[in-house]
Amino acid sequence: MNNLTAYLIPILTATVSMSVPLIFASVGGVYSVRSGIMALGLESMMMTGAFTAVVGAYYTGNVWIGILCGMAGGALLGLLHGLLSVRYKVNQVISGIGLNLLALAATTLLMQLLWGTKGNSPQVPSVGIYIGGLSVLVYVMIVVVIVAWLVLFKTRFGLRLRTVGENPKAASTVGLRVHAIKYTGVLICGTLAGLGGAYLSLDHMDMFVRDMTAGRGYIAVVITILARYNPISVVFCALVFGFCDAVQIYLQGQGIPSQLIQMLPYIVTLLVLTFGVKHITPPAGVGMHESD
Amino acid sequence: MKKFMIFIRNMNSVVLAIVSLTLAVLISGVIMALCGYNPFEAFGAILVGAFGDKRAILQTLTQATPLIFTGLAYTFARKASLINLGIEGQLYAGAMVTAVVGVMDFGMPMAIHLPLALGAGILAGGLFAGLVGFLKVKFGSNEVIATIMFNKVATCLVAYLVNYHFLAEGSGSAQTEKVLETAMLPRLFAKYQLTIAIIIAVGACILVKYFFEKTVVGYEIRAVGQNQLAAETAGIKAGKLMILTMFISGAIGGLAGATHVLGVDRRLMIGFSPGYGFDGIAVSALAAENPVGVILSGIVFGALRAGSMVLNRTTSIPTEFTNVIQALVVLFVAAPLLVKEMLGVNLMKKLEAGKEEAADE
């Protein structure tokens, strides 16, 4: 029994800590999709957030300013995604992919220009505040999830956001400011994804590493769909993926080739994508403009 | 000036591509200037490094070869409105299988061994992508996310296979044994890395153009891409064609890896691709998804890559900014409205409208 808890506690702790960035990003994704904008750019928002968080923490020496910078960096990418898809009517898949490419290239380039290194940034101060063995950001995450649920389903703003996402044309006809609502949606999305990125770089690693998010933004997209665009369900879906990541990390030291174990989260994502999300339909107005 | 504005407003895809590339280069130039480098000096050095002498031009073409393949692979899938982000993984799958076949010693002559090694790579890449097509058609799984996940699976799997099963003896780094002479792609010039792969790449582009314009299957694939429902109503089996499209797209991606293994490195080295698969997206965007345009667009980005490698040796400017240029091209080409606005077309329109109003009064 003691033996079992000795295994279980670290794995469960790791499960929670690996789920946190996914939950932040996926809840952001829920805001974005509910406002009618596909969340394929999540990877870029997380990546930029992880990077700007380290830049902020490096130059100020203050981890909280770093986290704010991470949120701002993510929000900036969210704004870009919003501009491209709302103002310039770009295909949302392509703009997401383009931003993801840009974020990877730009963070790698800036890392070299700022610190002259290719692989990772210098070490920065980390959050390092734990309550009950879990990072303080875990509790922030719980608040974010509950607030998101209240905002989306219990407030007038949430109703308007969902109306815009379902039918932008009708929303525009009844006098809703469709553009402003969509921009709010992607900005919240970017801010939260940036916070998820900041968690990766400031709480999980204490530095920025090239391609730090490593596809987590895409996994967050899958979680968003699997959770049927509901912030509470996001938590449970993300825990499944966090568990895979935790098991993967745990198994690293067990003599199984690490390259095989590293595949685990991606294979689970593929399985969920194939068998888990077939009959889930997104809001009807995703990708549409009020002029359609 | 007015004529120029009207020209821009009605711009077709070629003009849009050229303007997008120019804007992307300008923006990266501004970034360089902000970081304290002289952009004119830098781009001058890139041009010399890419086209300055015979060595430079051959290096440009060598760098362009995988980009033409991956650009063509992405373009092929786009014709059926599919997005294949998994070319990087298909490239590694092709490279792996080709590297294994390339070291097999059955006393085969080159006329058998080389096509066999290339064919194995093509098949591996094709099957890898065809699986995604199958999952999409059969289970409705989104190919954008599936291909990204398969990229990670492929790179992990190849790293495992090389490290645990095919590691070259006595080698300090993770790489396979050198392929046999009979499987090596012949070089076009002695002492230069450029091989006949560039000819295969150009040939493949022309073949794909012919396929889409002159064959029934090619026509049907385009019909599916334009309107899947309409195509199905007309009796076209869209599902089968989508799987086939992904298979061929992946096969071309596999060929990119195979030719790199047999032509450039002569073996599989872990991490040999600096992201060729993703570069294909930019190559295809700049070519306006035209298979023959891919040749030119691949050479443009190949030149940028070759030139920036020279630049990187002589100055401290990182080569990464070429990736920034590529990403910006993808975004600009996808956003003609943005490009028009940046060029001030809207401003012109407002001025014109203002004039007309004044005239009306």
Residues of A in contact with B324 (CB under 8 A): 102, 105-106, 109
Contact B318 A109 (CB under 8 A): yes
Please write the tens of the pLDDT for every residue from A162-195: 999 999 998 988 888 999 999 999 999 999 999 9
Does residue A50 belong to any structural domain of this protein? Answer: yes
Q: What pLDDT, on the 0 to 100 scale, is given for residue B346? A: 59
Does residue B34 belong to any structural domain of this protein? Answer: yes
Please write the tens of the pLDDT for every residue from A74-102: 999 999 999 999 999 898 888 999 999 99
Residue of A nearest to B85 (CA): A97
Contact B142 A273 (CB under 8 A): yes
Residue B5 confidence (pLDDT) above 90 = no
Residue B223 confidence (pLDDT) above 50 = yes
How many CB pairs (< 8 A) connect A and B? 128
Contact B330 A278 (CB under 8 A): no
Number of domains comprising chain A:
1
- Sign of the torsion angle spanned by Cα atoms B54, B57, B59, B62: negative
Number of domains comprising chain B:
1
Does residue B351 belong to any structural domain of this protein? Answer: no
Smallest CA-to-CA distance from A212 within A14, A16, A46 is with A46
The boundaries of the domain holding residue B222 are 8-344
- Measure the CA–CA gap between A187 and A196, rounded to whole angstroms: 14
Does residue A292 belong to any structural domain of this protein? Answer: no
Does residue B204 belong to any structural domain of this protein? Answer: yes
- The beta-carbon neighbor of A218 closest among B145, B157, B327 is B145
Residue of A nearest to B78 (CA): A94
Average pLDDT, chain B: 89
Contact B338 A90 (CB under 8 A): yes
Q: What DSSP string runs through B47-113?
A: HHHHHSSHHHHHHHHHHHHHHHHHHHHHHHHHTTT-----HHHHHHHHHHHHHHHHH--S---HHHH
Does residue B295 belong to any structural domain of this protein? Answer: yes
Contact B139 A275 (CB under 8 A): yes
What count of Cα atoms within 13 Å lies in the side-chain half-sphere of residue B239?
Answer: 7
Please write the tens of the pLDDT for every residue from B298-356: 999 999 999 988 888 877 778 788 889 989 999 998 888 888 888 876 555 666 665 55
Q: What pLDDT, on the 0 to 100 scale, is given for residue B308? A: 87
Smallest CA-to-CA distance from B225 within B213, B242, B237, B208 is with B242
Average pLDDT, chain A: 90
| φ and ψ of B187, to 5 deg | -85, 150
CATH number, domain containing residue B137: 1.10.3470
Does residue B144 belong to any structural domain of this protein? Answer: yes
Q: What pLDDT, on the 0 to 100 scale, is given for residue B169? A: 83
Please write the tens of the pLDDT for every residue from B239-295: 999 999 999 999 999 999 999 999 999 999 998 998 899 999 999 999 989 999 999
- Interface ipTM: 0.91
Residues of B in contact with A270 (CB under 8 A): 135, 141, 146, 149-150, 153
CATH number, domain containing residue A148: 1.10.3470
Residues of A in contact with B159 (CB under 8 A): 259
Mutate to test the interface with A, among B74, B136, B149, B325 (most CBs of A within 10 A): B149
The boundaries of the domain holding residue A267 are 2-275
Does residue A289 belong to any structural domain of this protein? Answer: no
Tell me the average pLDDT across A142-149: 96
Which of A55-69, A243-257, B28-42 reaches the highest mean pLDDT?
Answer: A55-69
Residues of A in contact with B140 (CB under 8 A): 278
Does residue B39 belong to any structural domain of this protein? Answer: yes
Does residue B161 belong to any structural domain of this protein? Answer: yes
| Burial classification of residue B273, based on how many CB atoms lie within 10 Å of its CB (0-12 exposed, 13-18 middle, 19 or more buried) | buried
Q: What pLDDT, on the 0 to 100 scale, is given for residue B199? A: 96
Q: What DSSP string runs through A11-27?
A: HHHHHHHHHHHHHHHHH
Please write the tens of the pLDDT for every residue from B133-159: 999 999 888 888 899 999 999 999 999
Does residue A207 belong to any structural domain of this protein? Answer: yes
